[in-house]
Amino acid sequence: MQDLLRRYGATLTGAFVVLTAFWLLALVILPNVTLFESSFRYYLPVVDIGGPKDVYTLANYQKFINNPVETSFLGIPFTMPIHMITFFNTVIFSAIVTVITFVLSYPLAYYLAKMVSPASLPTLILLLFIPLWVSEALRAFAWYIILTFNGPLNSSLVGLGLLDSPIRWQNGVVTAYDAIVIGLVYTYVLFMVFPIYGSIQSLDRNQIEAAEDLGAKWWQTHWRVVLPHAKPGIASGCVMVFMLSAGSLLVPTVLPSTRSNWFTQTIQVLMLESQDWNSGAAYSFLYILLCTVVVTLVMWLFKVKLSDIAK
Partner 1 sequence: MSAGVELDDVSCDFGRFRAVDHVNVSIRPGEFFSFLGPSGCGKTTILRMISGFQEPSEGAIRIGGKDMRGQRANQRPTALIFQNLALFPLMPVWENIAFGLEVRGEDKVRRRARAEELLRLVDLPGAADKMIGQLSGGQKQRVAIARALAVEPSVMLLDEPLSALDLKLRQHMRAELRGIQKRTGVTFIYITHDQGEALAMSDRVGVMSQGRLQQVADPREIYNNPVNGFVAGFVGEMNRLTGEVGQVANGHAVFGTPHGTFRARLAPGVNGAPVKLYVRPEHMVLSQDGGSENSVPVTIGDIAFEGNFITVSATADTGADLTAEVRNDGIGKLPDRGAKLFMHFDADRAIILPDESKA
Partner 2 sequence: MHRKRNLLGHLYMGAFLFYLFVPLAIMGGAAFNDSRLPSVYPWKGWTGRWFAELFADQVMWTSFINTILVALAVVALAVPLGTAGAILINSISGKVRGALYGLMVAPILMPGAVIGISTLLFWNHANVPPGLHLSVFGQVSYIAAFVMLLVLARLQSFDPALEEAALDLGASHGQVLRRILLPHLAPALGAGAAIAFFQSIENFNVTLFTRGTSNTLTVYVFSKVRSGITPTINALALILISVTIVCAIWYEIARRRAERRALLLERTATLESAAMLESAA
Q: What residue ranges bind partner 1 (CB under 8 A)?
A: 204, 206-207, 209-217, 220, 224-225, 228-229
Total residues binding partner 2 (CB under 8 A) = 90
Instruction: For residue 62, state whether it binds partner 2 (rule: CB under 8 A).
Output: no
1 to 30, contacts with partner 2 by CB under 8 A? 1, 3-4, 7-9, 11-12, 15-17, 19-20, 22-24, 26-30
E strand map for 108-214: none
Say which amino acid occupies 176: A
If the CB atoms of residues 82 and 243 are measured against partner 2, the closer one turns out to be 243
**C-alpha pair distances (Å), 213 with each of 113, 200, 203, 205:** 20, 19, 17, 12
126 vs 214 by CB, closer to partner 1? 214
Smaller CB separation from partner 2, 53 or 305? 305
* Angle in degrees, CA 165, 256, 251, rounded to 5: 120
Is there a contact between 235 and 302 (Cβ–Cβ < 8 Å)? yes
Phi, psi for 56 (deg, rounded to 5): -75, 145
Strands (E), the chain: 68-73, 76-81
Q: Residue 88 binds what, of partner 2, partner 1, none (CB under 5 to 8 Å, by partner type)? A: none
The count of C-alpha atoms lying within 13 angstroms of the C-alpha of 215, restricted to the half-sphere facing its C-beta, is: 0
Q: Which does 122 bind (CB under 5 to 8 A by kind): partner 2, partner 1, none?
A: partner 2
Q: What is the closest distance, in whole angstroms, from the C-beta atom of residue 112 to partner 2 in the complex?
A: 8
Q: What's the closest the beta carbon of residue 228 comes to partner 1, in angstroms?
A: 5
| Partner interacting with residue 301 (select from partner 1, partner 2, none; CB below 5-8 Å by kind) | none
Separation of alpha carbons 198 and 114, rounded Å:
11
* Residue 230 binds which entry of partner 1, partner 2, none, CB below 5-8 Å type-dependent: none
Residues 154-213 that bind partner 2 (CB under 8 A): 155, 186
Smallest distance from partner 1 to CB 127, Å: 26
* Among candidate residues 271, 282, 278, 253, the one with its CA nearest the CA of residue 140: 253
Choose between 224 and 311: whose C-beta lies nearer to partner 1: 224
Based on the shown chain and the rule CB under 8 A, indicate whether residue 57 belongs to the binding site for partner 2. Answer: no
Output 54 or 204, the one with its CB closest to partner 1: 204
Measured from the CB atom, is 230 or 255 closer to partner 1?
Answer: 230
Burial 48-77 (b: 16+ CB within 10 A, else e): eeeeeeeeeeeebeebbeeeeeeeeeeeee
